[in-house]
Amino acid sequence: MSSSESESSQQGRHREAGHKSLLQSDALYQYMLETSVYPREPECMKELREITAKHPWNIMTMSADEGQFLNMLLKLINAKNTMEIGVYTGYSLLATALALPDDGKILAMDINRENYELGLPVIEKAGVAHKIDFREGPALQPFLLEKKQGSFDFVFVDADKDNYLNYHKRLLELVKVGGVIAYDNTLWNGSVVAPPDAPLPKYVRYYRDFVLHLNRALAADPRIEICQLPVGDGVTLCRRIK
C-alpha cells in the first residue's frame, strides 16, 4: 500500500470509528498527521502501520499521533523497564521499544500471539526485539507476583477494559513511586458523555460503564496524580506518588 493510500485509510477509519482522534474536525486531525506526525514517523513504524491496516481488526491499533506521543513520553521520563498489557500487532510496542535505551526491557502480554507475530519481523528488522519479553496469556499471570515490587518505570494498559481496575490494583505495587501507568481509551469513543439511550455499537456500550467507573476511581485515588489527555481515544496518565 502506498503512503497516501495508507493515510487515506487511516482517515477513513477516523471518520468511521470516530475514535482515532477526538479533535473537532477530520481536517484538523489530518493537518496534524500530515504536518507533524507522518513526516517524523520512523520507517519501521510506518511499515508496521501499513501491515496492520490490512488486518481485519485494525481498528484496535494505536493511531500514529498517539504512537509519537508514547515514544516522546517514554524518553521524557527516561523509562528503562516497562510493561505493556495488550499488544495486538505491536505498533505501541514498537513505539516503546524505539524509545528505550539498548538495555531497556519491555514485558509485553497478550492473549493472542498470532497478531504479535504479524508485526514481529518489522520489530526484529528495527533491531529492538531483544528488549521485548513477550508472554502469551491473560495479563494478570501468576508469574507477575514474582516481579519485584516497584520495578517498573512505566506501564501501558491497552487490553480488556473491564479489567482495568483489577490491573490498577496490582500495577500500583509493580510500578515504582514516581513511575507512570497509562490507561488507554479512557474517553471510549466519546461515549462517556453519550445519553443513556444513544445508539452505540454493542461493544462500545458494553465497556462504557467500566470506563466510566475507571475514570471516577482514578480521579479519587490518593496514591496517584493523574492527567487525562484527548490523544487518540483518550489516555490517562497516572503517576504513582505513594
Of 128 and 182, nearer to Ca ion (C-beta) is 182
Nearer to Ca ion, 16 or 124 (CB): 16
Distance CA 159, CA 139 (A): 9
- Complex with ligand SAM: residue 60 or 204, whichever CB lies closer: 60
Distance of closest approach, residue 185 Cβ to ligand SAM, in angstroms: 7
Stretch that binds Ca ion, among 13-21, 111-119, 158-166, 200-208 (CB under 5 A): 158-166
- Which partner from the list ligand SAM, Ca ion, none does 38 bind, CB cut-off 5 to 8 Å by kind? none
Cell numbers linked to 166: 483489577
Q: How far is the CB of 42 from Ca ion (least distance, A)?
A: 20
Q: What are the Cα distances from residue 182, in Å, to 18, 71, 85, 142, 161?
A: 21, 13, 10, 22, 13
Output 157 or 200, the one with its CB closest to ligand SAM. Answer: 157
- How many other C-beta atoms can be found within 10 angstroms of the C-beta atom of residue 73? 21
User: Nearest approach, Cβ of 195 to ligand SAM (angstroms)?
Assistant: 26
Determine if 66 is a binding residue for Ca ion (CB under 5 A): no
Shortest distance, CB of residue 163 to ligand SAM, whole angstroms? 6
Give which of Ca ion, ligand SAM, none residue 159 binds (C-beta under 5 to 8 Å, depending on kind).
ligand SAM
Q: Are 140 and 203 in contact (CB under 8 A)?
A: no
Give me the residues that bind ligand SAM (CB under 6 A), please. 60-62, 85-88, 91-92, 109-112, 115, 138-139, 158-160, 163
Chain position carrying cell 505493556: 84
Q: Which residue, 20 or 240, has its beta carbon nearer to ligand SAM? A: 20
- Binding track over 118-157 against Ca ion, x by CB under 5 A: ----------------------------------------
Q: In the set 107, 184, 215, 218, which binds Ca ion (CB under 5 A)?
A: 184
Helix H, strand E, coil C: the string for 65-97 is HHHHHHHHHHHHCCCCEEEEECCCCCHHHHHHH
Helix-, strand-, coil-residue percentages of the chain, each rounded to 5: 50, 20, 30
Regarding beta strands 152-157 and 81-85, do their DSSP bridges make them parallel or antiparallel, or are they unpaired? parallel
> 23 burial class (0-12, 13-18, 19+ CB within 10 angstroms)?
middle
* Residue 32 · residue 47 · CB < 8 Å: no
Measured from the CB atom, is 48 or 195 closer to ligand SAM?
48
Between CA 144 and CA 147 the distance in angstroms is 5
Q: Which does 115 bind (CB under 5 to 8 A by kind): ligand SAM, Ca ion, none?
A: ligand SAM
* Cβ atoms within 10 Å, residue 173: 15
Task: Please give the residue ranges that form the binding site for Ca ion (CB under 5 A).
Answer: 158, 184-185
